[in-house]
Amino acid sequence: PFRRLLATRATVLAEAARALAGAQVVVATALVRDAAVLAARRTRPPELAGLWELPGGRVEAGESEADAVVRECREELGTDVVVDARLGTDLRIDAGVLRVHAAHLADGAPGPRALEHSGLRWVTAAEVPGVDWVPADRAVVADLVDLLRP
Ligand code: CDP
């Protein structure tokens, strides 16, 4: 029983440490080329399938947000990006907090391919508000329009 109590306390402490350290960070990439941003159509979970997102995912332990953006773009889009500035504010999502980073394709990098999405499209400032974005990404529409307008 004493060992069980210790184990329980360890779990509680680990949870408290995670909460203090901050919520899980998810990064999303506003990949810009020729005054358009890349939107990617999600395949999962069922409630988000078919909706469009800025590609990204969870930041892993020991990884910077910029590292995570580069890794996710390699995994999901098969290309290399260079990370520019943060875009917009922190967005609360179920998974934690979503932070958008603007980026551009690295010199000579291939065009993105949908390796984990069901479609990709380049969206201009005029088109951004009409895209069927996932709920969290809708909050950055105004920032995306500003980013894309010269
Ligand atoms: O693949 P991984 O679990 O790293 O990430 P994900 O499933 O793509 O994203 C983690 C969470 O962030 C999910 O709940 C997504 O819905 C959310 N997300 C979002 O709201 N907007 C994005 N542009 C990217 C992720």
The complex scores an ipTM of 0.95
For strands 25-33 and 96-105, give the pairing: parallel
Whole-number pLDDT of residue 66: 98
* Ligand 1 center from residue 6 Cα (angstroms): 34
| Digit-coded pLDDT (tens) for 111-131 | 999 999 999 999 999 999 999
Whole-number pLDDT of residue 20: 65
Render the burial of 112-126: b for 16+ CB within 10 Å, e for the rest.
bebebbeebebbebe
* Ligand 1 center from residue 113 Cα (angstroms): 18
- CA dist., res. 69 & res. 107, Å (int): 17
Whole-number pLDDT of residue 17: 65
Q: pTM for the full model?
A: 0.87
Residue 4 has pLDDT above 90, yes or no: no
